[in-house]
Amino acid sequence: MKIGIKGINRASATVTVALTAGAVLAGSVFAATAQAATPPTPTIAAKGGYVMNNGTAKTLFTKAADTRRSTGSTTKIMTAKVVLAQKNLNLDSKVTIQKAYSDYIVSKGASSAHLIVGDKVTVRQLLYGLMLPSGCDAAYALADKFGTGTSRAARVKSFIGKMNASAKSLGLTNTHFDSFDGIGNGSNYSTPRDLTKIASSAMKNSTFRAVVKTKSTKQKVTTKSGGYRYMSWSNTNTMLSSYSGAIGVKTGSGPTAKYCLVFAATRNGKTVIGTVLASTSATTRTADMKKIMDYSFKK
């Protein structure tokens, strides 16, 4: 009996050693696989960047995410957000295009929706003109329409005040607006993290989502004489056509801002949203965004 027991013990020990070695080997394989599955953090040309999971608000990528920078026309995300937050908003109400709007475009050399003085354009159409071709004339028209005051200057000031109030309500401490379109006077700034949060909040609105995912549109507007004309606008956000799952949101650029982009995409039920600020060119900001979005979807 003793001999039998010793034999069994030796066999058990051999099996145990074999199992342990197998477990170690398997563990090493799993560890290597897990390590290989973790993508390297991408390097981007933009001075600032941030991406988060839109569903959980988890940070997925960050580079100088809380450094204040000029935002260019990505400011218009907040412009649209403020308009869409108005009580009893009628998207089909019409706004008469004023000469002041076109004069502003000329004086600033600003991006334009090419609105025609005297035309009557709906609020919904102005939102398309704001977000697709990045029309500063459309931004001016909306600020004039939804600000309060007896003069145009007072209404614009009021509207910008609403933009800042909205930023404050989101708990953003690194964002300030001094313009309705991003052509600031020295104190129009935000951060990649703050802009991403603004866009995430704006994307909760169905009208906003519909506008910013539109690649191009043709809108019928009423002319001064009572006739009509068609306005055709294409989206400056080229990633809508080149990135799988793209759903928005806005480009921006300027002498100080350089090249900016706030972007969102959905894949396999996961939506990620992010911002790059102060990239070196339109091509580079797209490359930057693709890198950090691809990286974020893998995390």
Catalytic residue IDs: 73, 76, 134
- DSSP sequence for the chain: -HHHHHHHHHHHHHHHHHHHHHHHHHHHHHHHHHHHHSPPPPP-SSSEEEEEETTT--EEEEESTT--EE-GGGGHHHHHHHHHTSTT--TT-EEEPPHHHHHHHHHHT-----PPTT-EEEHHHHHHHHHSS--HHHHHHHHHHHS-SSSHHHHHHHHHHHHHHHHHHTT-SS-B-S-SSS--SS--EE-HHHHHHHHHHHTTSHHHHHHHT-SEEEEEEE-TTS-EEEEEEE-S-THHHHSTTEEEEEEEEETTTEEEEEEEEEETTEEEEEEEEEESSHHHHHHHHHHHHHHHHH-
Closest CA to 63 of 193, 244, 165: 193
